[in-house]
C-alpha cells in the first residue's frame, strides 16, 4: 500500500546530486512524490539523471546552466554525491586526497556559489550530506574525514553569508547507511585491519540505516517547516558513541 505524502514541495525547483543511486536517488524520488520538479545529476549514468562528473569544473558549470535552463530558477540545492575510499597511513596519496576534496568539498561549495543568485531570488536553501566522519577521527579514513570536515565548515560559513540574503544552508550528517558506498570504501582497508579500533565506534541502534532515513532528514531541512533552521548539522546516525 502506498501512503500519501504531504505535498511540501509543489512546483518547487530542486537539484539533487548523486541522484543515480544510494541516498540521492531516494531524495530525488521523495521530492518528486511531494510535487517538486527535480533535476538530478551523477557521474554514473541512470534514467532521469544528467550525467556529470562534478569534480570537473567545466562540466559542473555546464550542468549548472542546464539545470537553470530546465527549471527556470532554483528553490533547493541538495548536495548528496560523495566518495569514500579507506586508506591507511602510508597509503595516502596526493591524488587520493585531492579526489576526496574535489568531490566531497569543492564541488558542493562551488555548486552553492554557482546557484546562489537563483537561490537568493527564490529565498531558497541548500542541504548538503556531510557525515559523522566530519567530526570524529576514524581509522584508515583520514582523506574522507578531512574532506567532510571541510564541507561541514564550508557550508556553515556559507550559512552566515547567504543567511543575510534570506537563503538557509544546512547539513545532514549520517552514520552508516545501507548503500554501495561502504563496500566500495572497504577495498582500501589494510590486510591486517585492526577491528578493535574500528569497533570502538558503535551505534546505540544496531546495524546500518536504510537510505530513506537520511533522505527524510534532507527533506525536513529543505521544507518550510525548518524555516528557523540554518547553519545546522542534523546528525542521523542511530546514536553513535565513541
Ligand atoms: N553510505 C554511508 O554509510 C554514508 C555515511 C555517511 C555519509 N554518507 C554520505 O552520503 C552521501 C550519499 O552516499 P551514498 O551512501 O548514497 O553512496 P553511493 O555511493 O550509493 O552514492 C554516491 C553517489 O555519488 C555519485 N558520485 C560520486 N562521485 C561523483 C562525481 N565526481 N560527480 C557526480 N557524482 C558522483 C556516485 O556515482 C553515487 O551515485 C555521500 O555524500 C556520502 O559521503 C554516506
- Nearest-atom number in ligand 1 for the CA of 79 is 41
**SS3 of residue 29 by DSSP:** helix
Q: What is the DSSP letter of 124?
A: -
Architecture of domain 13-227: 3-Layer(aba) Sandwich (3.40)
Average predicted confidence (pLDDT) for the chain: 96
Q: Is the C-beta atom of 105 inside 6 A of ligand 1?
A: no
Averaged pLDDT, 232-236:
98
Query: Residue 141's pLDDT band (boundaries 50, 70, 90)?
Result: very high
Which residues are known catalytic residues? 144
Q: Is the C-beta atom of 180 inside 6 A of ligand 1?
A: yes
- Ramachandran region, residue 11 (left: φ > 0; alpha: ψ -120 to 50; beta: rest): left
Does residue 168 register a pLDDT over 80?
yes
Averaged pLDDT, 87-101:
97
pLDDT in tens, 120-133: 999 999 999 999 99
How many angstroms separate the alpha carbon of residue 164 from the centre of ligand 1? 30
- Percent residues over pLDDT 90 in the chain: 93
Q: What pLDDT score was predicted for residue 2?
A: 66
Specify the pTM: 0.97
Averaged pLDDT, 216-239:
98
CA dist 38 and 42 (Å) reads 13
CA dist 137 and 134 (Å) reads 8
Q: Is the C-beta atom of 27 inside 6 A of ligand 1?
A: no
Q: What pLDDT score was predicted for residue 241?
A: 86
Does residue 23 register a pLDDT over 70?
yes
- Nearest-atom number in ligand 1 for the CA of 56 is 31
Query: Residue 186's pLDDT band (boundaries 50, 70, 90)?
Result: confident
Averaged pLDDT, 7-13:
98
| Neighbouring residues of 121: CB distance < 8 A, sequence distance ≥ 6 | 73
Q: What pLDDT score was predicted for residue 242?
A: 72
Amino acid at each position: 500500500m502506498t501512503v500519501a505524502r504531504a505535498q511540501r514541495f509543489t512546483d518547487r525547483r530542486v537539484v539533487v546530486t548523486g541522484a543515480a543511486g544510494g541516498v540521492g536517488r531516494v531524495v530525488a524520488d521523495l521530492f518528486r512524490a511531494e510535487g517538486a520538479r527535480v533535476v538530478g545529476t551523477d557521474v554514473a549514468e541512470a534514467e532521469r539523471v544528467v550525467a556529470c562528473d562534478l569534480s570537473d569544473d567545466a562540466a559542473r558549470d555546464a550542468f549548472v546552466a542546464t539545470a537553470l535552463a530546465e527549471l527556470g530558477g532554483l528553490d533547493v540545492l541538495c548536495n548528496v554525491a560523495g566518495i569514500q575510499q579507506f586508506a591507511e597511513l602510508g597509503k595516502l596519496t596526493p591524488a587520493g586526497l585531492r579526489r576526496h576534496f574535489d568531490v566531497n568539498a569543492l564541488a558542493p561549495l562551488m555548486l552553492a556559489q554557482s546557484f546562489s543568485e537563483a537561490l537568493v531570488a527564490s529565498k531558497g536553501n541548500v542541504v548538503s550530506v556531510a557525515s559523522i566522519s566530519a567530526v570524529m577521527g576514524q581509522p584508515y579514513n583520514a582523506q574522507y574525514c578531512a574532506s567532510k570536515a571541510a564541507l561541514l565548515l564550508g557550508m556553515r560559513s556559507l550559512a552566515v553569508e547567504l543567511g543575510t540574503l534570506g537563503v538557509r544552508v544546512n547539513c545532514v550528517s549520517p552514520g552508516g547507511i545501507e548503500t554501495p558506498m561502504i563496500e566500495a570504501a572497504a577495498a582500501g582497508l589494510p590486510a591486517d585491519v585492526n577491528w578493535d579500533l574500528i569497533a570502538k565506534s558503535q551505534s546505540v541502534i544496531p546495524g546500518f540505516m536504510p537510505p530513506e532515513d537520511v533522505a527524510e532528514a534532507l527533506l525536513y531541512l529543505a521544507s518550510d517547516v525548518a524555516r528557523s533552521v540554518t547553519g545546522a548539522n542534523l546528525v542521523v546516525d542511530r546514536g553513535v558513541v565513541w
